A and B are shown apart, each in its own frame.
Chain A
Amino acid sequence: MRDELIENGAPNLTRCIQCGTCTASCTVFELDRSYNPRRLIQVFLVDDASSEIPKAWLCSTCGVCTERCPKEVWPMDVMLSARGLLVRSRPPKDMPKDRLRSLISISRSGFAYGKKSGLKARRLTLKLPEFDLDKSQLEQVRELLMPSFGKKLKRQVDEV
């Protein structure tokens, strides 16, 4: 668990001295005690059981913890690394529905968000240029994206 996290974008994980500055500054912890980045990092450091990893999805990515951490552990990156490990597995485990939808959207249009209603007309009125990806560009995007998220993603496309 620890080594994988280090490998996947959290190289300074073991510098943590559990001082608690991250949790003290955490946007989410202030409103929800169950998300405690300091505690989560300790779990990642000593516990191989991964039942807690999905908590990493609760991080708001505000970055104040990383800004203030005295040991340059970069706690936010630890959370992102944990998410990455989850997403790598096939199917992506515990990925929040809205993120999944965004990924699916990217594989369909290249963009994480769908068009708002009446967009085409509005853009014409505002004299804004075309921005859609053409067929070959979309192929490119899918080719880059799919290997990381696997065929199961396609199935989830249908489920959602």
Chain B
Amino acid sequence: MKKIGVLLCRCGSVIGNSIDLGDLAQRCGRSPLVQEVREEEELCQAQGLASLAKFMEKGFDGLAIGACSSRKCEQAFKAIAEGQLLPPSLVEVVDLRELCSIVHMDGRSATEKAYRLVNGAVMRVANSAPVPIATTKVVRSALIIGGGIAGVQCSLDIANAGYEVFLVEREPSIGGVMSQLDKTIPTLDCSICIEGPKLSDAGRNKNLRIIPNAEVTAVSGRVGDFNVSVEVKPTYVDPEKCNGCGACVDVCPVYQPNRYDVDLKPVKAIYSPFAQAVPLKFVINKDICTECGMCQKACGLSAINFNDKPKSLQLNVGAIVIATGAALFDPKLKPQYHYGEFENVITNMEFERVICASGPSGGELVLRNGEHPKRIAFIQCVGSRDTGIGMEDCSLYCCAVSLKQARLIKEHEPDAEVYVFYTDIRAQGKGWEDLYTRVREDGVRFIRCRPSELARDRGSGWIIIPYEDSLTGERGELKVDLAVLAMGMGPSESTDKLVKMMGLQVRGPGWIEEVQPTFRPLETYVEGVYVAGTCHGPRDISDSVIEGSGAAGIVLSLFNREELACSPYRAAIDAQACTGCMRCYDACEYGAIARVEEKAVVNENICKGCGACVPNCLQGAVSLRGWTQESLMRQAEGILEAR
């Protein structure tokens, strides 16, 4: 006969409020399976846990604990059980707080329910067998996908701790959006000046291997031991030989738009995206290259190779951090603003490149026709706080960026008139309010209105903005020569691809979903895969850096373990019984089941142990380890038939 121990927590006074613990303890004790029942004041406190440990020394075959929601303390209780050599699978926690005493006011019914719940737990534990916990090795290498500031920070932190890091980046250089900006907020530091040294460090770090012009194409394996396929695009320039001298660029006759400059100023077919690129290696866009061979002739190091082919790399890493960033909302989706139709309606990113000294106009604030604008208006919330187009959220960065850009205009053209059309100015945190105040002192005018449309004066070409100042009720039509749209942030294409590839969960327009956005904000639902930066929601630069370090911390904590315990509570498929009908696959929300050689196979790394696949199987071939049908039936009996 099994000997089960029962521990009831008073939880201060919360559980004791409607449940009569004395009565409960007595009733529980009557079961032939229960050897001893104990009551505790607060099990989660140090004293309570010590008490729990002592209780377990009595050598029970299993433990039923009546306490609060298992999301809170179950881990702690099970950890203690492990210490006492009681398999964690034989410790069952039932929620007598959130599911019982808090929601039922009537003492008698609450106690009755509590008794049934505990009895069910006792029955389950008495009919369960220990589940062996396997361990896996931890490969102490990390893969960071995305070389923006979050990815770079993360890579540096891990590499500096002495571990090998692979940083895969789609573009020819790392740096991301931050490298395109003129100034940062709120301190108005030159963006590339503060980012450059970090990129440089990344380039020189012996543990950090930057893989540019590359994309991840497949991921398999589990936390501690992932196998990743990376495809490196051919660049037609041998990076081993190229020293970035640029002789090839001078002679190349073909031009193309430059993504880095938001297509505002062309570069040659052979190019490096920007001056501070890391690595500083030139690449050829073969789509427009005419193979005239001029670059080959000019190159003193014979680095050009028109026969370059894509390369595949296989990486074996223990952890993956996704830092693929965000994309700006496409302004063409708001046709009432006539972006692309009216020449002088531009995005805030285009503005940033224009005002930047390294940009298409050398930092001079000019319109496309070369003239200096005299009156500029910023239109906030284009693609944010807009339910109709599926962009519900505030994008967080755009108010501050428009304030910054307004300030920069006043620095470049003190006599220019600047207007900001806003709904709310969300300049939050340290130092941002000061920017808001400064900008108003500079004479920038704020009109509280989200304009319905932009019009254009046929004769003069001025942009006309009809508005209602919602603070005064006055109507106006502002004529400006430049309108800057503050674009909302949305998930990037790279993020979308990875999500599909790796079976990640998403939220809203496609942001990667975290396990718990408040207190586990950098973990995805796939163990060993973490996020940092704007790939899981709008953020600014400093938060992206913080997250880079945060993710690095989690990875390093993983690497510090000798070996990793793999949660055994996953679906298991009996291959003998499996007929390959794949009904289990239909039930799985996480994409954890695949068809391998006519049979269904579970990827335990993705499997969350939800059990949805179990009832779908007509052969009874699928079971959930730790939750056998037998133990669950007995638990149900324990609840329904208790007296």
Contact = CB atoms under 8 A, between A and B. Distances in A.
Asked if A and B form a direct contact in the complex, defined as CB atoms under 8 angstroms apart, the reply is: yes
Contacts, number: 71
Given A20-B467, A29-B468, A33-B473, A72 B387 contact: yes
Contact of A24 (B385, B387, B388, B450): B450
A14 to B, nearest CB: 13
B17 interface: no
A69 interface: yes
Interface string B358-390: 000000000000000000000001000111100
B475 A29 contact: yes
Interface string B3-46: 00000000000000000000000000000000000000000000
Interface string B141-183: 0000000000000000000000000000000000000000000
Contacts of A18: 423, 470
Contacts of A68: 336, 452-453
A23 interface: yes
Given A30-B475, A64-B452, A20 B470 contact: yes
Nearest to A12: B387
Contacts of B449: 19-21, 23-24
Contact of A36 (B423, B467, B473): B473
B387 A19 contact: no
B466 A24 contact: yes
B448 interface: yes
Which of B336, B448, B466, B468 neighbours the largest number of chain A CB atoms within 10 Å of its CB? B468
A24 B466 CA distance: 6
Nearest to B424: A17
- Chain A binding surface, main DSSP class: helix
A42 to B, nearest CB: 9
A38 B468 contact: yes
Contacts of B385: 17, 19, 70-71
A14 B468 CA distance: 21
B387 A71 contact: yes
Contacts of A71: 385-387
Contacts of B423: 17-20
Given A17-B423, A33-B475, A25 B452 contact: yes
A4 B423 CA distance: 27
Contacts of B468: 20, 23-24, 26, 29, 36, 38
A11 to B, nearest CB: 13
A92 B469 CA distance: 34
Contacts of B469: 20
Nearest to A71: B387
B451 interface: yes
B384 to A, nearest CB: 9
B483 to A, nearest CB: 14
Interface string B331-365: 00000100000000000000000000000000000
B485 to A, nearest CB: 14
A39 interface: yes
A137 to B, nearest CB: 42
Interface size on B, as a range, is: 20 to 34
A21 B388 CA distance: 13
Nearest to A37: B468
A21 B450 contact: yes
A30 to B, nearest CB: 7
Interface string B441-453: 0000000111111
Contacts of A19: 381, 385, 423, 449-450, 470
A33 B386 CA distance: 26
Which of A23, A26, A71 neighbours the largest number of chain B CB atoms within 10 Å of its CB? A23
Contacts of A15: 387
A21 B381 CA distance: 12
A25 B468 CA distance: 9
Which of A18, A24, A26, A36 neighbours the largest number of chain B CB atoms within 10 Å of its CB? A24
Contacts of A23: 449, 468, 470, 475
Nearest to A33: B475
Contact of B381 (A26, A38, A70): A70
A70 B387 contact: yes
A39 B452 contact: no
A9 to B, nearest CB: 19
Contacts of B453: 24-25, 68
Given A36-B468, A70-B381, A70-B387, A21 B451 contact: yes
Interface string A19-57: 111111110011001001011000000000000000000
Interface in B376-433: 381, 385-388, 423-424
Contacts of A70: 381, 385-388, 450
A36 B474 CA distance: 10
A39 B471 CA distance: 10
A17 B468 CA distance: 14
A121 B449 CA distance: 56
Contacts of B450: 19-21, 24, 70
Nearest to A68: B452
A31 B585 CA distance: 62
Nearest to A66: B388
Which of A20, A25, A39 neighbours the largest number of chain B CB atoms within 10 Å of its CB? A20
Contacts of A24: 449-453, 466-468
B266 to A, nearest CB: 36
Given A23-B468, A29-B468, A72 B452 contact: no
A89 B387 CA distance: 34
Contacts of B451: 21, 24
A69 B423 CA distance: 13
Contacts of B336: 68
Contacts of A30: 466, 475
A74 B506 CA distance: 29
Nearest to A17: B423
Which of A18, A22, A64 neighbours the largest number of chain B CB atoms within 10 Å of its CB? A18
A72 B473 CA distance: 22
Contacts of A17: 385, 423-424
A18 B468 CA distance: 11
B327 to A, nearest CB: 20
A23 B388 CA distance: 18
Contacts of A64: 452
Contacts of A65: 452
Contacts of A20: 423, 448-450, 467-470
26 contacts: A15-B387, A17-B385, A18-B423, A19-B450, A20-B467, A20-B470, A21-B452, A23-B468, A23-B470, A24-B450, A24-B451, A24-B453, A24-B466, A25-B466, A29-B468, A30-B475, A33-B473, A36-B468, A38-B468, A68-B336, A68-B452, A68-B453, A69-B388, A70-B381, A70-B385, A70-B386
Interface of B: 336, 381, 385-388, 423-424, 448-453, 466-470, 473-475
3 nearest A-B pairs in the assembled complex, by CB-CB distance: A25-B452, A23-B468, A20-B449
Interface of A: 15, 17-26, 29-30, 33, 36, 38-39, 64-65, 68-72
Given A24-B453, A26-B468, A36-B468, 7 more contacts: A20-B423, A20-B470, A24-B468, A25-B452, A25-B453, A30-B475, A65-B452
